[in-house]
Chains A and B, each alone.
Chain A
Amino acid sequence: MKHRLFWPVATLVMLILINTIARSQFASITVRDGRLYGALIDILRQSAPLMLVSLGMTIVIATRGIDLSVGAVMAVSGAVALTIIDGSTDPNNVGVVMLAVVVALVISLLLGVWNGFLVSLLGIQPIIATLVLMLAGRGVALLITEGFITTVNSTPFEFISTGYLLLPFAFFIWVAAAAVVGLTERRSALGVLTEAVGINPEASRLAGVRSRGIIWSAYAASAVLAGIAGIIYASNIKAADANAAGQFIELYAILAVVLGGTSLMGGKFSLAGTVVGVLIIQTLESTMLFLGVPSAESPVFFAVVVVVVVVIQSPRLHRVARDFVRSARARRAAEPSLDAEVVG
């Protein structure tokens, strides 16, 4: 009936409207030193880690899997990068920062390959396979940082999350990531094959789809994206906080994917939907701050809004509502006196 992104986008617009009505400066964007500032710009910047993780999660969920280890991968990636920069003699050297980022991403990739190995080759249930790394990964990150929060002062590293090119640099990172993932999936047959694997792994295998490789690469991609997210997180606070980095992000990522209209049953997926889903979550976080919802009540507030959004999007509710409207019309049509008004 309508475009499937209608409800997610409508929700996002509604949230922004509510905020703007409550406090007009929510929508205001100011220019200072050639940079744009404002609550909406903050949302675009702050959503970077969740966005990257959610894009990866979308692909994994499309293969009928799930990746619980993304938060732990974030922690490891940040810890590796900062330990390298911290140990170097010249933290402000761009080369050192590049090396640190590359090493962190390679290690993230290896973690993803491990997940993929457990799921695609050994056939372990994804929720269990990635749980292993979810629990162990954070411990590894803590070992790397020796239980302390490693802090660095490195201008090039800070630029990743806090730098500006008119708009926040972190925003460009996630737009680029979304574009790369989108083009790879949708401009080639990969997206269709991923959906085929998710809808029926056995049938697609028999049809000649190399489902093992597709599943494996989905976990690898998810881990690399989580690795980038970990670097952005660490860059934002100039520190590797192995305990807090990416905590519970896997759950928010799953939520973002679902809000964007992708089914947890696998198969059809919508990357654009996930992008909108992440922006909804991030806007909702800002909303709680802007409306001044007390800390103790904010989880309830968050939950209520999420439930309302999910219910509004439910196709079954739409069907019930349609039937109701139709039967009401039919009843009124039976009463000629009201007929003209209703139809008019």
Chain B
Amino acid sequence: MRSQGVRKRQFLGLITVLAVALAACGGGSSSDTTAGGEGAATTAGESAGELVTVGFAQTGSESGWRSANTESMKTAFSEENGFELIFNAADNDPAAQIAAVRGFINQGVDAIVIAPIVEDGWEDVLQEAADAEIPVILEDRTVTAPEDLYATWVGLDFKREGVYAGEWAAETFGDTPTKMVVLEGTTGSAPANDRAEGFDEATAETAIEKIDSQTGDFTRDGGKTVMEGFLTKYGVDGIDLVYAHNDDMALGAIEAIEAAGGVPGEDIQIVSIDAVHDGMQALIDGKINYIVECNPLLGELAAGFVNSVLAGEEVEKRNYVEDQTFTQEQAEEALPDRLY
């Protein structure tokens, strides 16, 4: 999932920061030349047509979700739609991402879209963008910087995703005593915390008992290893329900359940969040019982907000995208048309 890169790559990040620092020093002169030639470039751009230049600072390409998100942005900010997109993927390195945003400011883009890698440390560069009168639109994750430093935020409500998953569980199991295990996302990440909280709220009044909970780091391997542990600990008969914080861990859990001689979806029911292609396929095959979508197709919305903001319209500061939910039957209908 998308937040895992932040924590898991700290070590890598530490080293790349050095490399980026060097690169930034080396690139200093080149960005100066860009700034020098900026006037000419802008005039050329304007005379060529009314293309709106947008700089998009993506986190990296850590997951299927992220790839779909990038594709969606590239499609929405296409030339046909009147945009010229300058794309930058920072490989989950916060320093590189801030450098990229600074590059956009120097290039004098019309608007900047950021999918922040981390929440903190954005004040300075956002202030620079504000001083240059370039509006900033945030997508996906948020920042801790004051709200007046950016135009708007569009993203998902992780807690509500957890609530939806919990509501399904409450409806399906209700007063039946149910033993549930949880495959958590990366410890401390926003999606993991919020999805756990939402689910627990929605199932508080039910007979569902959380017998164990461990992190599977949002990966298939993590989900499988943790599930194997749960299965040797409690046995196939000792677990009724698995709540996985994302599809990949649910897919790993399916492997573990099958290897232990159980039937996923029947002996042990599975509910997960994301609705990536492989997850939806497992849902259709009856191995997962319910999926709450975590929609990566934010491009259209982001493009809409860029246009509104540039036209001087008032927009809401926080915009949540409505997530869909899928039962096995609904998945069968929806899968052929899905873009990711």
Alpha-carbon distance A290/B228, docked complex (angstroms):
11
Residue A146 at the chain B interface, CB threshold 8 Å:
yes
Let me know if A135 and B255 touch, CB within 8 A. no
Within 8 A of A (CB), among B28-83: 61-64, 66-67, 70
Let me know if B67 and A243 touch, CB within 8 A. no
Let me know if A135 and B15 touch, CB within 8 A. yes
Let me know if A295 and B184 touch, CB within 8 A. yes
Residue A142 at the chain B interface, CB threshold 8 Å:
yes
Neighbour of B229 across the interface among A244, A286, A295, CB < 8 A: A286
**What total count of A-B pairs have CB within 8 Å?**
95
Q: Which residues of A contact B261 (CB under 8 A)?
A: 32-33
Let me know if B278 and A42 touch, CB within 8 A. no
Chain B residue, CB-CB nearest to A71: B12
Query: Distance (Å) between the CB of A12 and the closest chain B CB?
Result: 18
Q: Which residues of A contact B251 (CB under 8 A)?
A: 237, 239
Let me know if A46 and B225 touch, CB within 8 A. yes
Neighbour of B187 across the interface among A37, A39, A134, A295, CB < 8 A: A295
Residue A123 at the chain B interface, CB threshold 8 Å:
no
Neighbour of A233 across the interface among B15, B62, B66, B221, CB < 8 A: B221
Chain A residue, CB-CB nearest to B187: A295
Asked whether A289 and B259 contact (CB < 8 A) given A149-B248, A236-B221, the answer is no
Q: Which residues of B contact A243 (CB under 8 A)?
A: 4-5, 62-63, 219
Alpha-carbon distance A37/B232, docked complex (angstroms):
9
Let me know if A292 and B212 touch, CB within 8 A. yes
- Tally of A interface residues using CB under 8 Å: 43
Let me know if A148 and B213 touch, CB within 8 A. no
- Tally of B interface residues using CB under 8 Å: 44
Q: Which residues of B contact A95 (CB under 8 A)?
A: none
Contact with B along A14-30 (1 / 0, CB 8 A): 00000000010110000
Within 8 A of B (CB), among A275-310: 285-286, 288-290, 292, 294-296, 298
Within 8 A of B (CB), among A205-238: 233, 236-238
Residue A195 at the chain B interface, CB threshold 8 Å:
no
Alpha-carbon distance A286/B225, docked complex (angstroms):
9
Query: Distance (Å) between the CB of A228 and the closest chain B CB?
Result: 16
Alpha-carbon distance A46/B228, docked complex (angstroms):
10
Alpha-carbon distance A214/B91, docked complex (angstroms):
36
Residue B222 at the chain A interface, CB threshold 8 Å:
yes
Q: Which residues of B contact A241 (CB under 8 A)?
A: 219-221, 248
Chain B residue, CB-CB nearest to A293: B214
Chain B residue, CB-CB nearest to A290: B233
Let me know if A142 and B61 touch, CB within 8 A. yes
Q: Which residues of B contact A32 (CB under 8 A)?
A: 261
Alpha-carbon distance A25/B237, docked complex (angstroms):
14
Contact with A along B198-227 (1 / 0, CB 8 A): 000000000000001111010111101110
Query: Distance (Å) between the CB of A127 and the closest chain B CB?
Result: 10
Let me know if A237 and B224 touch, CB within 8 A. yes
Asked whether A25 and B233 contact (CB < 8 A) given A42-B228, A248-B11, A295-B184, the answer is yes
Residue B22 at the chain A interface, CB threshold 8 Å:
no
Let me know if A247 and B252 touch, CB within 8 A. no
Residue B16 at the chain A interface, CB threshold 8 Å:
yes
Q: Which residues of A contact B15 (CB under 8 A)?
A: 131, 135
Q: Which residues of B contact A142 (CB under 8 A)?
A: 61
Alpha-carbon distance A251/B10, docked complex (angstroms):
13
Let me know if B278 and A149 touch, CB within 8 A. yes
Query: Distance (Å) between the CB of B179 and the closest chain A CB?
Result: 14
Q: Which residues of B contact A134 (CB under 8 A)?
A: 12
Q: Which residues of B contact A288 (CB under 8 A)?
A: 214
Q: Which residues of A contact B212 (CB under 8 A)?
A: 292
| A-B residue pairs in contact (CB < 8 Å), sample of 19 | A23-B233, A33-B261, A39-B229, A39-B233, A135-B19, A148-B64, A149-B64, A238-B255, A239-B251, A241-B220, A243-B5, A243-B219, A244-B219, A244-B221, A247-B8, A248-B11, A289-B229, A298-B214, A298-B215
Known: A239-B251, A244-B217. 6 other contacts (CB 8 A): A39-B229, A131-B15, A135-B12, A147-B64, A243-B5, A296-B187
